[in-house]
Structure 1
Amino acid sequence: MTEETNPTPNPETESAAKPAKAKKEKPPALEDKPFTEFIEQDYLPALKKAFAQQGIEDIDVAFTKEKIQMAGLSQMAACWQVMGGFAKGQRQFNIYFPDEDINKQKAFSCAAKGVKPSTIESFMIDERKVTLDLLVFYTIQRLNAQKWLAWN
């Protein structure tokens, strides 16, 4: 009596017969866009959305390149800034980008009731790779530390 045997498939020969699947290339990260394009097209809208989630609808944000309006710093060259205000203009904040790069040095200042800010502080200094979500999160977190968004 002869036994019928089904040959077991050999994975090596089968894979050689099938064409290899092309690897999908990852689209470039939002953060890899040119600096001004990223801020204007991605960061500002995401920041407005985050403010809306906090219940603040009158947020006004602008992206501009100008000198830092603070005593002792007006001699510095102009730098890119995200300037924000809300609560009918009673609360203002600035995020400074002196190197025109979200992964390099950044600074923060804030002031209330129309007074010009008197101090500038480093912002996100421990982050090696800055993402859109982190940039928005740290902005909201910093303003919340002022107790401007919620009483904690």
Structure 2
Amino acid sequence: MGKIVFFMEENLDKNNEVNKEISDNTTKSNSEEIKGPKSEKVINMDISNDDSATKVLNKNKINTPEKPITKPKKELPVEKKPFQEFINIHLIPSLTKEINQRGLEINNINLTNTNRPIAGDKCWVINCEIKDTCNFWLSFEKDDISSLKSISISKPNQKPSIIESFLIDEKRITLKLIISRVLQRLNGQKLIGVN
């Protein structure tokens, strides 16, 4: 046998009593969905066998498997990035910019895994030489910005004589915090002027 195809239009007449009754009973959040005209539906009935299967297809609907909606991944805060990436890509350039904004010139600034000034133990050290002003060494005990830190400062062409603890009471270490405290230490030594 063949197929019988029916076309139905739903909710196209806005004056329809059913439409009006439904519209009156809806909330504001879903009223637009119900008031708008519905799409045309096609009903195919296969009458070739006794159990007459019914299939309803929505016009313009594409049959694709539903995928769960995933939220876009938030980018990690810079402080959560790997240690060397944080230091070389974020801290050193930001610190250089802040020092340059104060009218000072940096001859050299780098991160190395070397001996800490005075103590001599091996750790990660940012060594910065500010032209005609000072040198400082910001040391990290481990390759982690939350590890124990110290700072040593000296005048040009001199060795440091004191190791000072650095950010020992802070629970959350941020890029801005490290920069502001380095500048505060340099200013405390009257090396860079007012912050």
What TM bracket, shorter-length normalisation? 0.7 to 0.9
In the alignment, structure 1 residue 126 sits paired with structure 2 residue 143: no
Superposed CA deviations along residues 82-135 of structure 1, whole A, max 9, x for unmatched, are 0011133x4100000012211121000001131111110100112111111111
One-letter amino acid of the counterpart of residue 81, structure 1: V
Cα separation, partners in 2 of 1:45 and 1:10, compared to 1, 3 Å: same
Match of 1:7 in 2: 24
In the TM superposition, residue 9 of structure 1 has moved relative to its aligned partner by: 3.6
Query: 2 CA distance for matches of 1:126 and 1:40?
Result: 24
Could you tell me which amino acid in structure 2 is paired with residue 145 of structure 1? G
**Cα distance in 2 for residues equivalent to 1:123 and 1:92:** 16
Relative to structure 1, the CA distance from residue 68 to residue 149 in structure 2 (aligned partners, 3 Å threshold; closer, same or farther) is same
Q: Distance in 2 between matches of 1:7 and 1:112?
A: 81
Residue of structure 2 in register with 1:117 after alignment: 160
2:105 is the alignment partner of 1:57 = yes
TM-score, L = length of structure 2: 0.63
CA–CA separation in structure 1 for the residues paired with 2:173 and 2:164: 18
Greater strand proportion: 2
Of 140, 160, 177, the match for 1:97: 140
TM score, norm. by length of structure 1: 0.79
SS of 2:110's equivalent in the other structure is strand
Note if 1:142 corresponds to 2:190.
Answer: no
Question: With CA pairs under 8 Å and 6+ residues apart, which has the higher RCO, 1 or 2?
Answer: 1
List gaps (5 residues or longer) in structure 1. Answer: none
Structure 2 unaligned spans of 5+: 1-19, 35-68
Q: Is the 8 A contact 1:60 1:85 kept in 2?
A: yes
Distance 1:13 1:46, change over 3 A: same
Q: Contact between 1:48 and 1:59, CA under 8 Å: does it hold in 2?
A: no
Q: Is the 8 A contact 1:91 1:111 kept in 2?
A: yes
Rg larger in structure = 2
Percent identity, aligned pairs only?
A: 32
1:10 CA drift (Å): 2.3
* C-alpha distance after superposition, 1:23-80 (max 9, x if no partner): 444211111111111101111000111111111133521111111231xx22x3x110
Q: After the TM superposition, which segments of 4 or more aligned residues of structure 1 sit over 4 Å from their partners?
A: 11-14, 21-24
